[in-house]
A and B are shown apart, each in its own frame.
Chain A
Amino acid sequence: MEVTFQFDWAAAFRSIPHLLPGIPWTLLISFGGLAIGFIIGIVFGLMRISPSRLIRWPAIVYIEVFRGTPILVQVLFIFYGLPQLLGSPINALTAGIAAIAVNSGAYISEVVRGGVQSIERGQREASLSLGLSRTQAFRYVIWPQAFRRMIPPLGNQGIISIKDTSLFSVIGVGELVRQGQIYIATTFTALEVYFMVALMYLAITWSLSLLLRQLEKRGLVGQ
């Protein structure tokens, strides 16, 4: 049998308007989730390095649980499992944002911990010796330096979380992959459509990379 199949550029371009509606959903889920994840990460990352075992332990448990289980299982648990517990359904968008939040939050906690612990002990000692309180030393001296060092790993996590949202097609939220699947169901152009879907992810993640590179460059002064 002769192989007649070719990549159909026209079909690929035709799919674009059908895929575009997925982009806002993908962005909303990933950046909404990451914003919450960042707050979770700061709180649990700092708890993780607390001298008090009572504060440290919940953070360790949270990080291990959400880093050690697949995000697909997490979102299925939130979308199908939690409603049984709560007695009311959770919409797919909320479930998606929540899954990105708790999952990225666990990784970002470790990023925050690493960033803060990477600051030389002398910085804290110099701050305290000048009469700054521990809180002031953290706010004005430790955190600004730690945050700069956190930018590259945070960017990494951002890119991972954006790609993770593709899994949420399983709960029917209308993100990029879901839009692709719907379109393919009527046109049978899987090759072209998934190629375009991949390109759109690449456009999003690449933009983020460029933005972060700029941020890093600006932050480099004085390091």
Chain B
Amino acid sequence: MTQNENAPAPIVRMEKVNKHFGSLHVLKEIDLEVAPGEVVVIIGASGSGKSTLIRCINGLEEFQEGHIDVDGNELTPHGRSGQALQKIRTEVGMVFQQFNLFPHLSVLDNVILAPMKVRSWSRADAVETADRLLERVGISDQAAKYPSQLSGGQQQRVALARALAMEPRLMLFDEPTSALDPEMIGEVLDAMRELVREGMTMIIVTHEMGFAREVADRVIYIHKGEIAEQAPPEQIFDSPTDERTRSFLARVLKH
């Protein structure tokens, strides 16, 4: 990606990141920069390494070579980043495919846990923020319920509110709609659209090509652990230059 001189410093910078899983080379020489406010969508076949890539950004996965800089905090290979990692995790929110809500806590307690324990907010402050966020994602009337009492779409919206409660500077989405029944995908995508409108920096791994085309500033196609092509959505979807991108899109867009 080219950057003009007065562009703000990138919020994420990955340089020559390599990750191996035993003999498997999962990420190959990944170079990636994400500017503040940018929405980057990562597409690719399952097993291509796209989830692994974003999980490296908040240290859920270790990598062996290269380095990752998130908002001035540097992650080093082999997971030896200590304080920097902790700092990154408080500033980077993540939404998972399987929601991963805390089943023993009410919806409200799910949302206020991290602000109270990590940011040391008072309960009153945390609840106020949680109420606002739950209302924004349309769950305000369910705050006292437990996750198991909600539909998948509602659970994922709570998970989004939970991540936003930490006031992150960057949001990672790891296939946020892949575990949802088709009729619930729309409500989660709507909540994400609103976040895009507010200018949140987002890196989204998804199979929702229509959504990618609509919200992305840039689409990245990953093939076998490599960035095969990256371009604005119109270009990637309408006239991909890489043969591998073309054949992948031909396969997924046919259905």
- A-B pairs under 8 A by CB, number: 72
On whether the beta carbons of B148 and A129 are closer than 8 Å, the reply is: no
Is the C-beta of B58 less than 8 angstroms from some C-beta in chain A?
yes
Known contacts being A122-B98, A221-B146, A223-B148, is A129 close to B89, with CB within 8 Å? yes
Min C-beta distance of B171 to chain A, whole Å: 11
Q: For residues 116 through 145 of chain A, which have their beta carbon under 8 Å from a beta carbon of chain B?
A: 120, 122-123, 125-133, 136, 140-141, 144-145
Tally of chain A residues near chain B (CB < 8 A) = 21
B79-130: which have CB < 8 Å to A?
Answer: 86, 89-90, 92-94, 96, 98, 100-106, 113-114, 117-119
- Chain B CB within 8 A of A67 CB: no
State which of A129, A140, A145, A223 has its C-beta within 8 Å of the C-beta of B92: A129
Interchain nearest-CB distance for A158 vs B (Å): 23
Query: Per-residue CB proximity of A92-124 to B under 8 Å, as 1/0?
Result: 000000000000000000000000000010110
- Distance between Cα atoms of A139 and B207 in the complex (Å): 35
CA distance A122 to B102 in the complex (A): 10
Most buried by A among B93, B113, B147, B163: B113
Q: How far is the CA of A126 from the CA of B105 in the complex (A)?
A: 14
Would B114 and A145 count as touching, CB distance under 8 A?
Answer: no
Residue of A nearest to B97 (CB): A122
Query: Is A148 interfacial (CB 8 A cutoff)?
Result: yes
Q: Within 8 Å CB of B148, what residues of A?
A: 222-223
**Are B94 and A222 neighbours in the complex by a CB distance under 8 Å?**
no
Partner of B104, one of A125, A129, A132, A144: A144
Give the chain A neighbours of B90 by CB distance below 8 A. 130-131
Whether B118 and A132, one on each chain, are in contact in the complex, defined by CB atoms closer than 8 angstroms, is yes
User: Closest approach, in angstroms, between the C-beta of A119 and any C-beta of chain B?
Assistant: 10
Whether B60 is near chain A, meaning CB under 8 Å from some CB there, is: yes
Bound Cα distance A21, B121 (Å): 55
Once the chains bind, are A131 and B98 in contact (CB under 8 Å)?
no
CB-CB under 8 A from A223, the residues of chain B are 103-104, 148
**Chain B nearest CB, measured from A153 CB (Å):** 18
Complex contacts, A123 vs chain B, CB 8 Å: 100, 102
Q: Which of A126, A144, A221 contacts B100 (CB 8 A)?
A: A126
**The 3 residue pairs across chains A and B that have the minimum distance between CB atoms:** A222-B146, A131-B90, A126-B100
